[in-house]
Structure 1
């Protein structure tokens, strides 16, 4: 896949993907980055991910707390808030409708 195109698409849905991952349980930045990669979204650098996490936290969609590491430094764990869960539900409905519309356009036969 074209990396520039992937990056452009990812900017539009990264908030939604992060909220969805955190709806499954709390996590920290590196773990989220690995989960995004495992789901086929490629490598999401910290310089991209951490501003998203901070913005979502400041808007009340996430909460965060520091936890001492068992074998390393403390990590900042993020958890979806009730407002984040509501936002995720609404955005998931919007995304499904949007993706279906794009899919319909892309699958139409070209006029000759």
Structure 2
């Protein structure tokens, strides 16, 4: 199993929230389908992305309680684009190593 860097986790969270506003538990379940992540790992990522103005939150009633939803901001979309570009370059470099295409 690969250890995911904080930038890769940020990319995964921002890409998921970019599709639709979502709450923490659902976000965790969605990401678990693709990568190994726990709620205890996810919530610090969400707080950091909020602090960096990439995500904002709002509460919505659900089942007699409030559910906190995360929404991507314009800054979050800019950061997502940067992470996507970085990821493509990183993946291409790793693919070269795996294929033995190094000079």
Which one of 22, 31, 51 corresponds to residue 26 of structure 2?
A: 31
The answer to whether the aligner puts 1:61 opposite 2:43 as a matched pair is no
The structure whose residues are more often helix, as a share, is: 1
Corresponding residue for 2:91? 99
Q: CA deviation at 1:47?
A: 1.1
Q: CA deviation at 1:12?
A: 4.6
Q: Is the 8 A contact 2:21 2:72 kept in 1?
A: yes
Give unmatched runs, 5+ long, in structure 2: none
* CA offset digits 1:3-27 (Å, max 9, x no partner): xxx3x12545111000000110100
Query: Normalising by the residue count of structure 2, what TM-score does the alignment of the two structures yield?
Result: 0.89
Which one of 13, 19, 22 corresponds to residue 17 of structure 2?
A: 22
Which one of 29, 33, 41 corresponds to residue 35 of structure 2?
A: 41
| Matched residue count | 102
Query: Normalising by the residue count of structure 1, what TM-score does the alignment of the two structures yield?
Result: 0.83
The structure whose residues are more often strand, as a share, is: 2
The answer to whether the aligner puts 1:52 opposite 2:45 as a matched pair is yes
Q: Which has the larger radius of gyration?
A: 1
Q: CA RMSD in A?
A: 1.7
Q: Is the 8 A contact 1:10 1:41 kept in 2?
A: no
